[in-house]
A and B are shown apart, each in its own frame.
Chain A
Amino acid sequence: MTEGKEEKGKYTTVSIPTPLAEKIKKRIEGTGFNSISSYVTYVLRELLASMEEEEEEAFSKEDEEKIKERLRALGYLD
């Protein structure tokens, strides 16, 4: 994916197999994605976000503060 101008420092190059790139190129024809890069970026962002969602949180914000206060009082923090 070396297409498009790379703004120095903000982007990096990632290699994918050519047949996959061809496949993506076909898929994005006529869509809002103007490059393979923009499509791949979108897909990866979606994927990562969904994976993060699966990581359940043990505590609500409020509970976490409560626990931090308690642990601080117990000497485990600071």
Chain B
Amino acid sequence: MKALVIGWDCATPELVFNKFLDELPNFRKLLKNATYGRMESCDPPITIPAWMVMATSINPGKLGIYGFRHRKNNSYTDIWISNSLKFKNVPKVWDILGKYGKKSCIIGLPPTYPPLPLNGCMISCFITPDATKDYTYPVELKKEIEKEIGEYIFDVPFRTDEKDELVKNLWEMTQRRHELVKYLIQNKEWDLFWFVEIGLDRVQHAFWRYFDEQHHLHEPNSPYKNVIRDYYKLLDKNLGELLDLIDDDTAIFIVSDHGAKRMKGAFCINEWLIRNKWLVLKEEPREIVSIGKADVDWSKTKAWGWGGYYARIFFNVKGREENGIIPKEEYEKMRKKLAEEIRKAKDDKGNVMNTKVFTPEELYPECNGDPPDLMVYFDDLYWRSAGTIGHGRVHLEKNDTGPDDAVHAKHGIFVKYPADEKRIEASIYDFAPTLLHTLGIEIPKHMEGKVIK
């Protein structure tokens, strides 16, 4: 048996299984002979690390990957960007299949830049700096791609008010990738073919307010109210074309790394830390700046935070940070204290939010790499975290770094075809074992999920 894995980044269970289902004929037909349902993502439910957790069935702590960026050497400002080299020796499903002589074709799975050798071929993901780089394995594949579809498009800048332009770019990127996928499915040898379409994540972030009546910035009857639905319809049409290309001996998986939901606003973590005496500035910034550019008084600062769809908080620890002030003996006590205070944080209307605060140690059995000291989901992720300073307030109704309407939801989707029609609840850790099982490969002991039957 072979397997085709279709990754729809950010595909949301409520939308594909309910709201839009009637308008997705190919997907609906597939579900009649499929095992499917919600798939719970990892912590944090963010594109990086989620796809890598899916590909390895190993938790983010063990992988040592907590998001797109990480601190370098406990620095206040230096960061490193997630990339494939960090997973060089971690067995991804395609590495395991390669040991059995099986070939894989992997496209756009984050983070796969720079592309590493495998038994098969690879096209790297949106972490690729640009199309002038060597973004394929083998290197020659790049020429072949350019001959077939022209310049490959990795991503689109979605935080823009030029919505018409964005729609055009999104459709163009998706169709180019689709043409390439069709070409490679037919012209390469593969046992596993896995591609990820990032466009769905972008379209949901950019257009959510126009279709979700509950969104605080909802604009009824906007010309963009059907953009998200139309994009799902495009994916469905493309799905139909792929189904025509494959034989009966190929299992099909459709998966997402997390879902989406409306963003209620941006919570300025550092503004809040300043007001609660954890973070001290020498001087108020005159404009909006990132924490790295702010005039922080480190000799008085106990903690600072990062923005993103979830917040990372770091403590200024003696002997660890350059100007650390928290004695090691007080570290745990301080963590507990701050976690308690953050749990009581209020929204813009003065109501206590449903905020979740974790230490990496409680989420993961081991914490490699550069973990934060606390991980925070403001209002269960409905409020994104903004790291910038100088707003003069804690709550922003809009995002601080360009328009964004949606945040991440903990559940993505899982579909396996053909199978008995059955609704299930899956975990992202189950994907790799289920895939290997389907391909008749023994499941390595280190994998943390189970086979979905």
Contacts and interface: CB of A to CB of B under 8 A. Distances in A.
Interface of A: 56-59, 63-64, 66-68, 70-78
Q: Give the residue among B79, B129, B388, B399 with the most A Cβ atoms within 10 A.
A: B129
A63 B388 contact: no
Given A56-B85, A66-B129, A78-B387, 14 more contacts: A57-B85, A58-B81, A58-B85, A63-B133, A70-B126, A70-B157, A72-B401, A75-B205, A75-B308, A75-B399, A77-B307, A78-B306, A78-B386, A78-B400
Contact of B309 (A58, A67, A72, A75): A75
Interface in B204-236: 205
Nearest to B84: A58
Contacts of A75: 159, 205, 308-309, 384, 399, 401-402, 404
A63 B129 contact: yes
A68 B69 CA distance: 9
A59 B81 contact: yes
Contacts of A74: 155, 157-159
Contacts, number: 65
Nearest to B129: A63
Interface of B: 67-69, 79, 81, 83-85, 113-114, 126-127, 129-130, 133, 155, 157-159, 205, 290, 306-309, 384, 386-388, 399-402, 404
B141 to A, nearest CB: 19
Contacts of A76: 67-69, 308-309
Contact of A58 (B83, B155, B158): B83
17 contacts: A58-B81, A58-B84, A58-B114, A59-B81, A67-B81, A67-B129, A70-B157, A73-B157, A74-B155, A74-B157, A75-B309, A75-B402, A76-B69, A77-B69, A77-B308, A78-B388, A78-B400
B2 to A, nearest CB: 31
Nearest to B266: A75
Given A71-B69, A74-B158, A75-B308, A66 B130 contact: yes
A57 B81 CA distance: 10
A55 to B, nearest CB: 8
A69 B308 CA distance: 14
A71 B68 contact: yes
Q: Give the residue among B81, B113, B290 with the most A Cβ atoms within 10 A.
A: B81
Contacts of A78: 290, 306-307, 386-388, 400-401
